[in-house]
């Protein structure tokens, strides 16, 4: 693997319009407390989840005030690195487009953003990743962990070569009919390069997935909590799943592996 960009997703971003509302929505879905002390006037509400990869709800108020934010330039998730300068130099040497230059808003947090061939934006961050995950305080059939994130691509062959190379992983051969290619992470969420939205001409993207042990219980829970069902239950490739939409319209998969 690359010595500069770690093959691990520290956190997934959800770009929201109302921080309090979204924190309550995701906490209710996962059975977690809403921590009022995290609404300290900043633009984010962060949630440490099981299996390393956390969730950052970001209202982008700071970037909007600076006139620098756009939906197209919003990062999907955050890669970890031990050296921001080396990671930055590594990507620049490979001709990768940097969409946000290195910033250090406070001690212990440094980051920059880059984009892939399809304009998907990612953050590279050097920060503390040793926080304990939040504990469930109420039962929900949906686990408080993110097993996978989706990256929508238009050309699977080119995307596999690009993403594997950025992470310093040897690309594997793929079949011409493969529409999802999984990149196994060293820890935390795996990456699912997804060609389905492009092939189907869909005008939506699936952001990431939560897991459940029982897809029917999860579906019943979501319905009883008046959470919007986006696509109904179906099964493919040893998984049963359906999708929901959060208050800002982000599509999230609820999945039961078999």
Domain ranges of the chain: 9-126, 148-257
Helix (H) or strand (E) holding 5: none
pLDDT confidence tier of residue 130, bands split at 50, 70 and 90: low
CATH topology agreement for domains 9-126 and 148-257: yes
CB 171 within 8 A of CB 164: yes
- Rounded to whole angstroms, the Cα distance separating 57 from 172 reads 34
Note the CATH architecture for domain 148-257: Roll (3.10)
Give the pLDDT confidence score for residue 189 in this predicted structure.
97
CB 15 within 8 A of CB 70: no
CB 247 within 8 A of CB 220: no
Report how far apart, in Å, the C-alpha atoms of 250 and of each of 25, 49, 89, 200 are. 12, 19, 33, 18
Instruction: Check residues 3 and 185 and name the one with the higher pLDDT.
Output: 185
The tokens of 253 are what? Answer: 């998969």
SS3 21: helix
pLDDT digits (tens, 9 = 90+) for 5-39: 999 999 999 999 999 999 999 999 999 999 999 99
129 pLDDT above the threshold of 70: no
Nearest Cα to 53, choosing from 91, 14, 85?
A: 14
Instruction: Check residues 205 and 62 and name the one with the higher pLDDT.
Output: 205
Which residues in 201-213 are b (16+ Cβ under 10 Å) and which e? eeeeebbbbbbbe
Helix (H) or strand (E) holding 179: none
- Rounded to whole angstroms, the Cα distance separating 86 from 185 reads 20
| E-strand stretches of 48-96 | 54-58, 77-80
| E-strand stretches of 127-187 | 148-152, 180-183
The tokens of 189 are what? Answer: 């969420």
2 pLDDT above the threshold of 70: no
161 pLDDT above the threshold of 60: yes
pLDDT digits (tens, 9 = 90+) for 183-241: 999 999 999 999 999 999 999 999 999 999 999 999 999 999 999 999 999 998 789 99
pLDDT digits (tens, 9 = 90+) for 83-107: 999 999 999 999 999 999 999 988 8
Compute the average pLDDT of residues 166-179: 89
Give the pLDDT confidence score for residue 171 in this predicted structure.
82
Give the pLDDT confidence score for residue 49 in this predicted structure.
97
CB 191 within 8 A of CB 237: no
The tokens of 93 are what? Answer: 């040497």
The domain 9-126 having CATH identifier 3.10.180.10: the answer here is yes
The tokens of 204 are what? Answer: 């939506």
């Amino acid at each position: 693997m690359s010595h500069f960009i770690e093959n691990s997703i520290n956190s997934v971003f959800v770009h929201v319009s109302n921080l309090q509302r979204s924190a309550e929505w995701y906490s209710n879905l996962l059975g977690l407390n809403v921590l009022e002390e995290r609404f300290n006037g900043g633009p984010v509400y962060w949630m440490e989840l099981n299996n390393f990869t956390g969730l950052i709800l970001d209202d982008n108020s700071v970037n909007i005030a600076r006139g620098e934010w756009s939906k197209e330039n919003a990062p999907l998730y955050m890669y970890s690195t031990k050296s921001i300068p080396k990671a930055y130099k590594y990507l620049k040497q490979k001709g990768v487009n940097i969409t946000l230059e290195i910033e250090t808003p406070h001690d212990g947090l440094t980051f920059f953003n880059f984009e892939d061939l399809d304009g998907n934006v990612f953050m590279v961050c050097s920060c503390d990743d040793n926080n304990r995950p939040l504990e469930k305080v109420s039962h929900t059939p949906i686990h408080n962990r993110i097993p996978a994130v989706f990256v929508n691509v238009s050309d699977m062959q080119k995307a596999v070569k690009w993403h594997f190379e950025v992470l310093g992983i040897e690309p594997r051969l793929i079949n011409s009919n493969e529409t999802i290619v999984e990149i196994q992470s060293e820890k935390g969420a795996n990456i699912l390069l997804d060609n389905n939205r492009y092939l189907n001409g869909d005008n939506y993207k699936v952001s990431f997935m939560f897991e459940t042990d029982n897809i029917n219980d999860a579906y019943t829970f979501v319905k009883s909590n008046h959470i919007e069902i986006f696509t109904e239950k179906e099964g493919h490739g040893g998984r049963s799943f359906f999708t929901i939409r959060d208050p800002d319209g982000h599509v999230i998969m609820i999945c039961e592996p078999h």
